[in-house]
Amino acid sequence: MRRVIHHADVTLRINGSDHPLTLDTRATLLDVLREELSLTGSKKGCDHGQCGACTVLLDGRRANACLVLAVTLDDVEVTTIEGLADGEELHPLQAAFVEHDAFQCGYCTPGQICSAVGMIAEARAGWPSGVTADLTAPPVLDDDEIRERMSGNLCRCGAYANIVPAIAEVAR
């Protein structure tokens, strides 16, 4: 039996630049970022959407790049950790992670930061979480709320004691 591989032409808009590509229709965004475009900030942790190391922003909303087929992203703005800084000026969350020493090995850090950017935007848009006390009031990003909203991003080193304050500084 012969195996048929299908390819598709797609233009991915990543960090403000267009990338015309011919891709295997089964390729995940994570694999395309890392293997085709050499954007290695997003990490392959579990490759099952459980650890958050590959978190990127799709039109400003956080997503696990290991679960998204790249060919589905026409007309979607993809932002990776490489696209958050403004030239040499770090994004406020990147700067806060450095200031608070909110990483140890650093493997999860790009996903943590991208997730935090999306999480803050969700909270500012009024989206509740599983621990939001008053669903009629705007969410308050206290430490418990931040922990709940960031629960999809795991840190094997256990740097949460510094991650939460770093996010809180920017969120508040």
pLDDT digits (tens, 9 = 90+) for 96-139: 999 999 999 999 999 999 999 999 999 999 999 999 989 999 99
| The last residue of a domain, from among 83, 116, 142 | 83
Q: Which long-range contacts (CB under 8 A, 24 or more apart) does 32-39 make?
A: 32/70, 33/65, 33/78, 33/80, 39/14, 39/15, 39/80, 39/82
Choose the final residue of a domain: 83, 115, 137.
Answer: 83
CA 7 to chain centre: 26
pTM, entire model: 0.94
Q: Is-contact 134 140, C-beta < 8 A?
A: no
What's the number of domains the chain is made of? 2
Which of 83, 114, 135 finishes a domain?
83
